[in-house]
């Protein structure tokens, strides 16, 4: 499937239900290389415990979230990270041209949820900063199966939606609108999580 078709699927499903979902947003080769990168960083203890809030009010409460993260950055000049950034640049260009969203930047991090990890119900936009417009999660779990846990649970006004963290799948929603949580995972769960910003 071409990138533009995957982008269309993500946007169309977002328009239908306020949550965009696209299988194969990352091709299997890139997803595999990103997963290898994440596993290497994890083994070398490069990941940090994630906090909540932003720079002025960050807190680290493992009863709220217990994942570990590593920020992606173009200054790393990492070939695999740069390959991911090229996909995101293409998506943002497509999104701005077709939906006039006015996205001007993004930030992404690797996320590793070890066995027994979770992230309680929350909204992604900070109280003191409204620059995060859309939240985006792309999964790196090729062997996920029912019973492994770690689903994304999204709270709509009239129903809950559970999304399996399957390899290459991407999720897209407005950061200020939908409360969500990562359910307890029974196996290591990997993703790239971030925000499209203005």
Residue span of the structural domain in which 127 resides: 3-51+70-197
How many angstroms separate the CA atoms of 75 and 91, rounded?
Answer: 21
Query: What CATH number is associated with residue 121?
Result: 2.60.120.620
How many angstroms separate the CA atoms of 95 and 104, rounded?
Answer: 11
Neighbours of 16 (CB within 10 A): 10
Q: Which tokens sit at 148?
A: 């492994």
Residue 109 lies in a domain: yes
Residue 63 lies in a domain: no
Residue 8 CA from chain centroid, whole number: 18
Residue 45 lies in a domain: yes
Residue 60 lies in a domain: no
Q: Which residues pair with 71 in a beta bridge?
A: 109
Query: Does residue 119 contact residue 182 with C-beta atoms inside 8 Å?
Result: yes
Number of domain units in the chain: 1
pLDDT tens digits for the chain (198 residues)? 568 899 999 999 999 999 999 999 999 999 999 999 999 999 999 999 986 555 554 454 567 888 999 999 999 999 999 999 999 999 999 999 999 999 999 999 999 999 999 999 988 765 556 788 999 999 999 999 999 999 999 999 999 999 999 999 999 999 888 999 999 999 999 999 999 998
């Amino acid at each position: 499937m071409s990138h533009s078709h995957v982008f269309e699927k993500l946007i169309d499903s977002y328009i239908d239900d306020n949550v965009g979902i696209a299988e194969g947003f990352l091709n299997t080769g890139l997803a595999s290389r990103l997963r290898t990168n994440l596993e290497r960083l994890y083994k070398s203890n490069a990941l940090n415990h994630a906090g909540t809030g932003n720079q002025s009010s960050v807190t680290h409460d493992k009863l709220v979230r217990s994942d570990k993260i590593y920020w992606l950055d173009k200054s790393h000049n990492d070939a695999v990270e740069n390959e991911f950034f090229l996909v995101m640049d293409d998506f943002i260009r497509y999104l701005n041209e077709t939906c006039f969203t006015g996205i001007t930047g993004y930030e992404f991090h690797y996320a590793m949820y070890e066995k027994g990890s979770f992230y309680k119900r929350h909204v992604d936009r900070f109280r003191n900063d409204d620059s995060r417009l859309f939240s985006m999660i792309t999964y790196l779990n090729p062997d996920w199966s029912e019973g492994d846990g770690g689903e994304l649970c999204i709270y709509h006004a009239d129903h809950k939606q559970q999304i399996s963290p399957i390899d290459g799948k991407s999720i897209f929603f407005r950061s200020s609108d939908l409360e969500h949580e990562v359910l307890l995972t029974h196996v290591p769960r990997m993703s790239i999580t971030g925000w499209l910003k203005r």
